[in-house]
Amino acid sequence: MENAPKLTARQLNFYYGKFKALEEISITINRNQVTALIGPSGCGKSTFLRCLNRMNDLIPGTRVEGDIRLDGEDIYDSNIDVVSLRRRVGMVFQKPNPFPKTIFENVAYGLRVNGIKDKKILKDRVEKALKQSALWDEVKNRINESALGLSGGQQQRLCIARALAVEPDVLLMDEPASALDPIATQKIEDLIHELKNNFTIIIVTHSMQQAARVSDITAFFYMGKLIETGDTETLFTRPALKQTEDYITGRFG
Amino acid sequence: MERHFIKTLDDLKMTLLNMAALTQRAIEKATQAYLNRDEGLAQAVIEGDREVNNLELKVDQIALKLLALEQPMARDLRFILGTTKISNELERIADQAVNIAERTLFLCQHPPLDHIPAMDRLIEVVKSMLDTAITSFVEENTQKAIKLRQMDDIADKYTLEVLQVLIANMVQSTPATEKRIVNARRSVQTIIISRCLERAGDLATNIGEHVAFIVEAINIKHQKVDFDQS
Ligand SMILES: Nc1ncnc2c1ncn2[C@@H]1O[C@H](COP(=O)(O)OP(=O)(O)OP(=O)(O)O)[C@@H](O)[C@H]1O
Ligand SMILES: [Mg+2]
């Protein structure tokens, strides 16, 4: 089990209506590793990410073919409870999206949705999540103040804490640092390094340097296809395919 | 519009080629000076070295700028690292040319030694190695890079031959003490020249290794290659 892949996609196709946004994607994602998805705008990175916790189900007219397995279990199986799937596979978005509530309530949100009412448990889990997201020291004295008073970088770590509070296995991050300044970005990147000890992380990023800095594995997408996957160091120093080379050296199109 | 990055990469390449041309000319002139006992030419080699050193600095400067400002990836990254290594080898080859020129100035003060055919061959092999190294870079040709190691074995062989000829010469030379000392001095200086050439050949071989790294991302540096001896 320890060495079994955390997530696998096999011959995954995805359609928005008639438009095929993903074509024959097969990839294995190992546990406790960071996998970066890179590729030009519109190549399907976010779409793929959303397939992994069935967020695309929320978009009408979409359709999935092929299979995705989490710990060997088909997540599109009719027996799967989508709410518990999304608890296991958490998501952090490009723009921090705190609710107009207190810092505490933002982090406790997912726990309450999952039916946890016990004050002590809530308090412990919120504290743990804020520590994991490296925000605790900055907010412990203002935990009952509005989350909207936090800086952009703090808000993003708050959203990470919110995702972590429900104790997911997998964390999906869609350009989590693209709206942040370099210092806040570095904090998020350091955090990712920390978090991979306990979580499996998949991150979409437009910054090749960021992918190179934070990930173990990098997957290059182009026009709905997965072109090349490899360990990050190899992919950025000697990619196997010319298409990958052209993209990462900025000689595309 | 051409990307600024690509232009700067071209600039780096041109600077390196410029340096390669000067280095090649330095070796050509130094060996010419030695063979023809031409003091003026030897002097020119010594004076010309500064230009090679300046170009090495320029290569480093451009490479550093590219690394710092452009965060190059993949082949670009290997190219930039490779050029700095190649420029370092070229600079050291040019130093060998200077060393040869200095020995030549000494030798010109004394009557010539007997002609050493192995030295002619050594000079030819090393010049051709330098040429092969530079072409392998220009053509991005790994085959040529690998061939250099074969040529290097030949250069080593001729170097040894020169040494043997000159040792024999020192041992057999005339008994008159004064003449004997002069003869030993000339021989030692000539041996040093052969060593410089051999060293230049080694450095040219290194250039081939850097080219293989740039082109194919492989490291042929410490791996044994079986050459067919044809
Ligand atoms: N809700 C939608 N309805 C229809 N088409 C969509 C929808 N979302 C995305 N697409 C299309 O699917 C393709 C992949 O989009 P996706 O957002 O996954 O790309 P991306 O790689 O994340 O791009 P970016 O880097 O710009 O975020 C695009 O052609 C896009 O136009
Ligand atoms: Mg996207």
B72·A208 Cβ contact <8 A: no
The arithmetic mean of pLDDT across residues A219-241, rounded, is: 96
CATH of A7-98+168-248 given 3.40.50.300, 3.40.630.10, 3.20.10.10, 3.20.20.80: 3.40.50.300
For residue B188, pLDDT beyond 60: yes
CA angle B47, B51, B55 (to 5 degrees): 160
Rounded Cα gap, residues B180 and B175, in angstroms: 7
Own/partner contacts of B163-167, CB < 8 Å, gap of 24 or more, are: B163/B191, B163/B194, B165/B116, B165/B118, B166/B113, B166/B116, B166/B190, B166/B191
The arithmetic mean of pLDDT across residues B41-61, rounded, is: 97
For residue A8, pLDDT beyond 80: yes
For residue A248, pLDDT beyond 80: yes
The contact set of B with A (CB < 8 A) is 3, 5, 71-78, 217
For residue B122, pLDDT beyond 80: yes
Tell me how close the Cα of A202 comes to any Cα of chain B, in angstroms: 22
What end-to-end distance do the CA atoms of chain A give, in Å?
Answer: 43
- Contact yes or no for A103/A145 (Cβ under 8 A): yes
Supply the pTM of this predicted model.
0.82
Contacts of B9 (CB under 8 A, 6+ apart): B66, B76, B79, B80
pLDDT in tens, A63-83: 999 999 999 999 999 999 999
Tell me how close the Cα of B5 comes to any Cα of chain A, in angstroms: 10
**Which residues lie at CB < 5 A from ion ligand 2?**
A 46
Q: In the CATH hierarchy, which top-level class contains the domain B2-216?
A: mainly alpha
Query: How many contiguous H segments (helices) and E segments (strands) does chain A have?
Result: 10, 10
Rounded Cα gap, residues B226 and B121, in angstroms: 24
For chain A, the domains span: 7-98+168-248
- Contact yes or no for B118/B193 (Cβ under 8 A): no
pLDDT in tens, A114-129: 899 999 999 999 999 9
List the one residue out of A120, A116, A123, A155 whose CA is nearest residue A139: A155
Q: What pLDDT band is residue B227 in, cutting at 50, 70 and 90? A: very low
pLDDT in tens, B58-76: 999 999 999 988 889 999 9
Q: Which residues line ligand 1 (CB under 6 A)?
A: A 16, 19, 21, 39, 41-47, 59
pLDDT in tens, B143-166: 998 899 999 999 999 999 999 999
Among protein residues, the one with the nearest Cα to ligand 1's atom 26 is A41
Q: What pLDDT was estimated at residue B230?
A: 34
Tell me how close the Cα of B49 comes to any Cα of chain A, in angstroms: 35
B74·A249 Cβ contact <8 A: yes
